[in-house]
């Protein structure tokens, strides 16, 4: 895989007209100070203010600035996906446009990629300049859960400032709202050397935050979805079939036991309840039906998986 730039800066943005000149200036100063052959890719995610006009003005001043503009707001994952597709850097850095992420942090993270061999380096905002109850505490709970589920020991999975080896972003697909879990996507693609670096977190200088508490709920749901698909996307029968068989057998055994107990009591002249009068019978019947449906769902998912266009898509590291 050939790259024409030392580094690509990918910046997704939404209504950040005021912060763009300062951000671009700081990125340029950082890149020139390091002697990098660089590019800045600004992805306007459907801004309704003067962000695009500001981008056009900046691009006229610097030929290293490229931009993508969405017709409407699609979300950060879509912006990063398009930015990654356009990036030509051997190293790719992402940061938010609100100036809470400092471009001056990137040189050290760049060295971790190029000199220490990391695939992904994530920022870690050890001291957040956010509200304790609406962001700090939910963020700690979210990150603790993410570490447990993904097995990646990052303190701040959702930090906006990250640096990647160019090969990483060309071998993953960011979709939905999965930008929070790019390190996990990279791990699933075979890029296992993932590290982090403490970074300074600044208070927002212009505008207001685009995120609310609902992002934490959505984040947990996305994490569960990603965890499931990473394990069973190519082998759905292993989950649905196994679970279905367990439920079917449990229901069948309960049904057989209820019927057998009734017949034994009847044969010995002991009091007995009709099978249909026992709530456990209906629970057993439900388990049998659900078990059969789960097994059938696994079978159908297996057929879909076997006909998927990427069923034999694998990331190959080297060839001789």
Write the pLDDT tens digit of every residue in 242-270: 899 999 999 999 999 998 988 888 888 88
Beta carbons of 144 and 66 less than 8 angstroms apart? no
CB 135 within 8 A of CB 128: yes
Chain centroid to Cα 70, Å, comes to 21
Q: Final residue of a domain: which of 203, 231, 259?
A: 231
8 Å CB contact between 166 and 91 = yes
* Residue % of the chain over a pLDDT of 90: 51
- Asked whether residue 244 falls in the same domain as residue 186, the answer is no
| Same structural domain, 59 and 115 | yes
Among residues 88, 95, 90, 93, which one has the least CA distance to residue 114? 90
Q: Kindly state whether residues 208 and 264 are assigned to the same domain.
A: no
| Res 313: pLDDT | 64
We report the CATH number of the domain holding residue 36 as 3.90.550.10
* From 46-55, 76-85, 274-283, 284-293, the region with the lowest mean pLDDT: 274-283
Whole-angstrom Cα distance, residue 182 to residue 173? Answer: 9
* 51-69: b (≥16 Cβ within 10 Å) or e: bbebbeebbeeeebbbbbe
Residue-wise pLDDT for 91-143, tens only, equals 999 999 988 889 999 999 999 999 999 999 999 887 766 555 556 677 788 78
The predicted-structure confidence for 192-239, as pLDDT tens digits, reads as follows 899 999 998 777 777 666 555 566 677 777 777 777 777 777 778 888
How confident is the model over 141-168, as a mean pLDDT? 88
Q: At a CB cut-off of 8 Å and minimum separation 6, what does 164 contact?
A: 91, 92, 93, 94, 113, 119, 120, 121, 182, 186
Question: Final residue of a domain: which of 199, 231, 263?
Answer: 231
Do both 159 and 282 map to the same domain?
no
Say if residue 71 is in the same domain as residue 204.
yes
Q: Is residue 294 part of a domain?
A: yes
Do 58 and 153 fall into the same domain?
A: yes
Domain boundary at 211, 231, 251, which?
231
Residue 269: its pLDDT value, please? 81
Say if residue 222 is in the same domain as residue 278.
no
Pairwise CA distance, residues 140 & 220, whole Å = 13
How far lies 124's CA from each of 37, 38, 92, 105, in Å?
26, 24, 17, 11
Residues with Cβ within 8 Å of 218's Cβ and at least 6 positions away in sequence, in order, are: 177
38 DSSP β-pair partners: 7
How many whole angstroms separate alpha carbon 269 and alpha carbon 238? 46
pLDDT higher than 90, residue 274: no
pLDDT at 162 over 60: yes
Parallel, antiparallel or unpaired: strands 89-94 and 38-44: unpaired
14 located within any domain: yes
**Domain that residue 261 falls in:** 236-306
Tell whether 150 is covered by a domain.
Answer: yes
Q: How many domains are there within the chain?
A: 2
């Amino acid at each position: 895989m050939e790259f024409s730039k030392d580094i690509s800066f990918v910046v997704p943005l939404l209504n950040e007209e005021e912060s763009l000149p300062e951000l671009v200036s700081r990125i340029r100063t950082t890149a020139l100070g390091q002697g990098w052959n660089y590019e800045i890719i600004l992805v306007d995610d459907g801004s309704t203010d003067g962000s695009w006009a500001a981008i056009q003005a900046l691009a006229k001043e610097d030929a290293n600035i490229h931009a993508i503009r969405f017709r409407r707001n699609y979300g950060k994952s879509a912006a990063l996906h398009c930015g990654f597709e356009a990036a030509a850097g051997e190293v790719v850095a992402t940061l938010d446009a609100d100036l809470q992420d400092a471009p001056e942090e990137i040189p050290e993270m760049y060295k971790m990629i190029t000199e220490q061999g990391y695939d992904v380096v994530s920022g870690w905002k050890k001291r957040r300049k956010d509200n304790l109850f609406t962001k700090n505490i939910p963020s700690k709970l979210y990150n603790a859960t993410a570490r447990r589920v993904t097995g990646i020991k990052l303190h701040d999975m959702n930090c906006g400032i990250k640096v990647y080896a160019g090969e990483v972003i060309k071998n993953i697909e960011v979709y939905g709202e999965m930008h929070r879990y790019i390190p996990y996507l990279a791990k699933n693609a075979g890029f296992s050397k993932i590290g982090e670096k403490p970074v300074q977190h600044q208070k927002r200088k212009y505008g207001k935050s685009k995120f609310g508490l609902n992002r934490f709920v959505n984040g947990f749901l996305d994490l569960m979805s990603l965890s499931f698909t990473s394990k069973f996307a190519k082998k759905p029968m292993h989950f649905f079939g196994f679970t279905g068989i367990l439920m079917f057998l449990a229901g069948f055994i309960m049904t057989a036991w209820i019927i057998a107990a009734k017949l034994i009591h009847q044969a010995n002249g002991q009091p007995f309840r009709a099978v249909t009068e026992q709530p456990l019978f209906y629970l057993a019947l439900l388990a049998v039906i659900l078990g059969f449906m789960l097994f059938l769902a696994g079978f159908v998912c297996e057929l879909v998986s076997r006909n998927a266009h990427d069923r034999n898509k694998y990331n190959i590291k080297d060839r001789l």
